[in-house]
Homo-oligomer: A and B are copies of this chain.
Amino acid sequence: MTIYELGETAVVGAIIRNLDIEFEDCAVIDITDAEYLVATTDMFHRTTDFPEEMSAWQIGWMSAAGTLSDIAAMGAHPCGLLVSTGLPDLPQAFVESIIEGLSDCARKCGTAIIGGDTDSHQELTITGTALGRVRKDRILRRRGAQIGDLVCVTGYLGTAGAGMRALELGLAADDPVAVKTLFEPTPRIAEGIRLAESKAVTSMMDNSDGLSESLYQLAEVNGCGFTIHADSLPVLPVLDTGKDLELVLYAGGDFELLFTVAPERLVDARDACELTVIGAVQVGGITLDGTREIERKGYRSL
């Protein structure tokens, strides 16, 4: 059996179970009595992650953003970004722009590139590793959702997917906001930190694999289900939750926070950041409006 036949969920699932690693956005290391260090690594490359239309600066920015989003998902403060680059024979200015994009995104998140490696490679490949720090009594994990909790997201859903669709249809100029979200996502660092400080959140992750896949991962860890309200799904005016529902539920590439909140603490979560309540935690099943099952599909990389 090859790994592509098995699919990423099975392959990664087997690796993680064998190694006895938690299913989390970041690894968690006990560094002091008061704090955890969190660490995450993400690989990006030309074919899958960098459409032709992306500039070098955006390639850098997106790679840093995708990595730092996992730090946001733990409620942590970023404290460093390491970058390994596999480089074809590109113009020097192009490589400098990639580094500038990486560095600008790190700075936007309150940190910096602190180290790295370069290698020659047939295909442009960037691996980001981000580090963060978080108080032990503030860290937000995937585990913790309780039946009856509200399901919330920051920002809008399906925006990056709409950008990808616009690119595929050659209509990028008509949809600049969606394409910009796809190419220049902003990690929700400030929102993650404030939600952690609110102590209102019971579980959290980012939705970069798409809403459906993220809900399934959260359900597995928590042994629960979700009901999602179609009418409440927050989308930009370019999208319609009716005719674009597939995109809103299944497209990846957004870097929003998906989290659960006890109903009586919703006011505290709202004080922490702008959010939309999109559903509730239930005993089992992942359904739309309590009736239709949401399929498990979305962005998988194998």
Contacts and interface: CB of A to CB of B under 8 A. Distances in A.
A31 interface: yes
A239 interface: no
* Copies of this chain, tallied across the complex: 2
Interface in A256-302: 301-302
Nearest to A1: B92
A167 interface: no
A169 interface: no
Contact of A3 (B14, B18, B90, B115): B90
A43 to B, nearest CB: 4
- Interface band, chain A: 35 or more
A71 B4 CA distance: 34
Contacts of A24: 115
Contacts of A242: none
Interface stretch (A119-127, A145-153, A156-164, A172-180): A119-127
Interface stretch (A33-41, A184-192, A195-203, A220-228): A33-41
A119 B123 CA distance: 13
Contacts of A135: none
Interface string A85-125: 11101111001100100010000000011111111111101
Contacts of A119: 43-45, 48, 301-302
Nearest to A30: B79
Given A6-B92, A31-B37, A21 B114 contact: yes
A35 to B, nearest CB: 8
A11 to B, nearest CB: 7
B1 A84 contact: no
Interface in A31-72: 31-32, 37, 39-45, 47-48
Contact of A19 (B37, B103, B301): B103
Contacts of A21: 113-116
B2 A41 contact: no
A12 interface: yes
A184 B103 CA distance: 35
Given A19-B112, A121-B123, 11 more contacts: A2-B89, A2-B92, A8-B118, A11-B92, A19-B99, A29-B114, A29-B131, A41-B129, A42-B84, A45-B86, A48-B120
23 contacts: A15-B118, A18-B96, A19-B99, A21-B115, A24-B115, A27-B80, A27-B114, A29-B79, A39-B80, A39-B114, A41-B84, A41-B129, A42-B117, A44-B119, A45-B119, A47-B122, A48-B119, A48-B120, A87-B302, A118-B301, A121-B125, A122-B122, A129-B129
